[in-house]
Amino acid sequence: MKYAFFPGCSLESTGWDFDRSTRAVCRALGIDLVDIPDWVCCGSTPAHTTNASLSVALPVMNLQKAKEMGLPVLTACASCYARLRTANHTVLNDPEERGRAERVTGKPYDGRVEVRHLLDVLVNDLGVDAVREKVRRPLKGMKVACYYGCLLTRPPDIVAFDNAEHPSCMDRLLTAIGAEPVEWPYKTECCGASLSITRSEIVNRLSHRLLSMARQAGADCLAVACPLCESNLDLRQADAVKAHGAIPETPVLYVTQFLGLALGLSSGDVGLEALTVSAESLLAGIGRDQ
């Protein structure tokens, strides 16, 4: 299994632990990641809120490079995934935008480079059974609320590899590695996303809502697959608590960090030190690094 890997900007900065844990987990599971050389930002929210054509052209530049590599693209960031998939969709369905993107990038592009999300590949190609076989440190008794957020499953016509309103891929993966995902209702509610910067009071309110519901549902921690979700729930947790009332400290980990720990990797291998809310409390239950 070999993919052209698109890390995206977040994985180079606030989400470096997502990058490290993704690479480590893929290595352990035999998934070969080759970085797209000289990749550029996918445009993320700023591009599509300001210039529709830019939001197509930027992902297309990366997809053209992947096409030259002759590999399908794999990405871990939910936003990068949504933008790359949307760009393909636009190129396939809107000849005018396609023409503009090709003019700007100076290269033709047919919209047919396959774009996959890491979770899709793990669950649907590799399969949870294959993951289960490689577990060396089962996350026994760990009660996790799997949080999918907005972008991983929406818009369903373009991105969904799972049920859009009731996704379960992370729950299945975490069950396979011995954890106990809780049933909770806010799997696909919004965390406030990039309002984190401009309207942080909204993010505080939404994050508080998510964290307290996860706790009510009996979870000790959350699993995410989006750098922005992670930072809103982890980095802003203290602000959320200050503004809206006490909740026990709740570690928020990337799904790849859970996977890495279960596969026997050390907390350093998966970058646990990057977390604002420490994951120490979780490690106690599953045994220290070997």
Partner 1 sequence: MSRIGVFICHCGENISRTVDVERVAQVTARLPGVAIALDYKYMCSDPGQNLLKKAVAEHKLDGVVVAACSPRMHEKTFRNAARAAGLNPFLCEMANIREHCSWVHEDREEATAKAIDIVKFTVSRVKKDRALAPITVPITKRALVIGGGIAGIQAALDIADAGHQVVLVEREPSIGGHMAQLSETFPTLDCSQCIMTPKMVDVANHPNIKLYTWSEIEEVSGYIGNFQVTVRRKARSVDEDKCTGCGVCMAKCPQKKIDNAFDRNLGTRPAIYVPFPQAVPNTPVIDRDNCTRFKTGKCGVCEKVCGPGAIDYGQQDQLIVEPVGAIVVASGFDLYNIGPKPADSPYEGYGEFGYGAIPDVIDGLTFERLASASGPTGGKILRPSDGKEPKQVVFIQCVGSRAREKGISYCSKICCMYTAKHTMLYKHKIHDGQAYVFFMDARTPGKNYDEFWRRAVEEEEAVYIRGMVSRLYQKGDKVVVMGSDVLVGVQVEIEADLVVLATAVQARTGADLLAQKLGISYDRYNFYSEAHAKLKPVECATAGIYLAGACQGPKDIPDTVSQASAAAAKVMTLFAKDQLEREPIVARVNERNCAGCLACKKVCPYGAVEEKEIRDRNGNLIKTVAYVNPGVCGGCGTCQATCPSKSVELDGYTDEQIMAMIEAL
- Output 171 or 269, the one with its CB closest to partner 1: 171
- Output 29 or 190, the one with its CB closest to partner 1: 190
Instruction: Note whether 274 and 16 are within 8 A (CB).
Output: yes
Residues 6+ apart with CB under 8 A from 246: none
Give the shortest CB-217-to-partner 1 separation in angstroms: 9
- Output 5 or 148, the one with its CB closest to partner 1: 148
- 185 is a site residue for partner 1 (CB under 8 A): yes
- 30 is a site residue for partner 1 (CB under 8 A): no
C-alpha distances (whole Å) from 137 to each of 45, 60, 141, 267, 286 are 38, 40, 12, 12, 7
Residue carrying the six token digits 């440190």? 137
Residue carrying the six token digits 């608590």? 241
Show the binding pattern over residues 140-179: x = contacts partner 1 (CB under 8 A), - = does not.
----------------xx-----xxxx-x-----------
Give counts: helices (H), strands (E), the chain. 15, 8
Q: Is 69 exposed, middle or buried (0-12, 13-18, 19+ CB in 10 A)?
A: middle
- Output 10 or 153, the one with its CB closest to partner 1: 153
Give the shortest CB-124-to-partner 1 separation in angstroms: 16
Q: Cα dihedral sign for 197, 90, 18, 287? A: positive
Give the shortest CB-218-to-partner 1 separation in angstroms: 13
Give the shortest CB-150-to-partner 1 separation in angstroms: 12
Residues within the interface to partner 1 (CB under 8 A): 156-157, 163-166, 168, 184-185, 216
